[in-house]
Amino acid sequence: MNNLLGHVIDTKMTDENEDYYFLQNEGTVFELDKKEPVKPLHIGGHFQGFAYENEDHKLQITSQIPKIQVGRMGFGTVVQSRRDLGVFVDIGLPNKDMVVSLDELPTIKSLWPQKGDRLLISLRIDHKNRMWGTLADESTFQEISQKAPQNLKNKNLKATVYRLKLVGTLVITKDYYLGFIHPSERDQEPRLGEEVAARVIGIHPDGTLNLSLKPRSYEAIGDDAAMLLAMLQHNEDHELPFTDKSSPIAIKNEFGISKGQFKRAVGHLLKAGVVTQADGYLKLKEEG
């Protein structure tokens, strides 16, 4: 039976009851929900579908053929986890989620995939004819990846974590670019299967990316600095007639904040390298 489960197979109808047709292949009987076929089946009729063992441990065949099969990879969505078993992944079957064993998951359980995360898996059948999901290996990601263009520098991308290593996190973007996140470029380690919002900080000649999960300097500057930055960006001349030398009253009247708050905000913008102060003006740098 190992050669049947997890594959699309041809079967012949041999019997039926009120709810199911019973179909055979090589002497193995599978149930088919009568709601599935467009036309009724008759004894001796043929049916092609995906063979699996459902959650009630009964052999079933379905016309709802998943992309993920034995020998075929696809992304599945995590629906739940069990600490003693692994994570359950929805691959599109009507009454069966596939388990990725804890043996393939991170040792640290807080880094296990959570509900809604995505894993690239195929199926495997063990010696007891049990079906499991199995994670794609590194060579698979290399095969499906695309070479990233050189104009992605400083762009924001969404990426899915596919491998956790001591040296850093490996991800694949929605456009199938491979990326690497060094531990210094994240505040905490993302979990396996998590979708992260990353920024491109480097592009290798082979088209792989160096990514950061940390915000740009000016994206972490606080509300007061963000307000000043927005005013500079929307001002036609990209400048304001204020500096940290301006009077507290003028600052309060214009911005509604104290001079101390204003000076701290200007300091953040200067440190981020997005503004300059000169001749009594706060000015937005062109690259800012």
pLDDT at 220 over 90: no
Angle at 275 between CA 272 and CA 281, to 5 degrees: 150
Out of 2.40.50.140, 2.160.10.10, 2.40.128.20, 3.40.50.10190, which CATH number does the structure's domain 74-136 have? 2.40.50.140
Q: How far does Cα 7 stand from its chain's mean position? A: 27
Contact (CB, 8 A) for 133 and 125:
no
pLDDT in tens, 235-276: 888 999 998 889 999 999 998 999 999 998 898 888 888 899
pLDDT in tens, 8-64: 999 999 999 999 999 999 899 999 999 999 899 999 999 999 999 999 999 999 999
**Residue for token pair 């692994």:** 86
**Which fold is adopted by the domain 8-62?**
OB fold (Dihydrolipoamide Acetyltransferase, E2P) (2.40.50)
CA separation, residue 217 to residues 179, 181, 204, 226, 278 (Å): 21, 18, 23, 11, 22
Q: Provide the 8-state DSSP code for 150.
A: G
**Which fold is adopted by the domain 218-284?**
Arc Repressor Mutant, subunit A (1.10.10)
What is the number of alpha carbons within 13 Å of residue 219 lying toward its C-beta? Answer: 6
Strands of the sheet containing 281-284, edge to edge, are 239-240, 281-284, 275-278
User: How many other CB atoms are found less than 10 A from the CB of residue 70?
Assistant: 16
Give the pLDDT confidence score for residue 288 in this predicted structure: 40
pLDDT in tens, 68-121: 999 999 999 999 999 999 999 999 998 999 999 999 999 999 999 999 999 999
Give the pLDDT confidence score for residue 271 in this predicted structure: 83
**Which fold is adopted by the domain 145-212?**
OB fold (Dihydrolipoamide Acetyltransferase, E2P) (2.40.50)
Residue 66 token pair: 């998943």
Confidence of residue 169 (pLDDT cuts 50, 70, 90): very high
Q: 145-212 and 218-284 share one CATH topology?
A: no
pLDDT in tens, 195-213: 999 999 999 999 999 999 9
Partners of 9 in beta bridges: 49
Delimit the domains of the chain by residue range.
8-62, 74-136, 145-212, 218-284
d(CA 215, CA 229): 16
Residue 149 token pair: 């263009």
Q: How far does Cα 268 stand from its chain's mean position? A: 32
Give the pLDDT confidence score for residue 221 in this predicted structure: 61
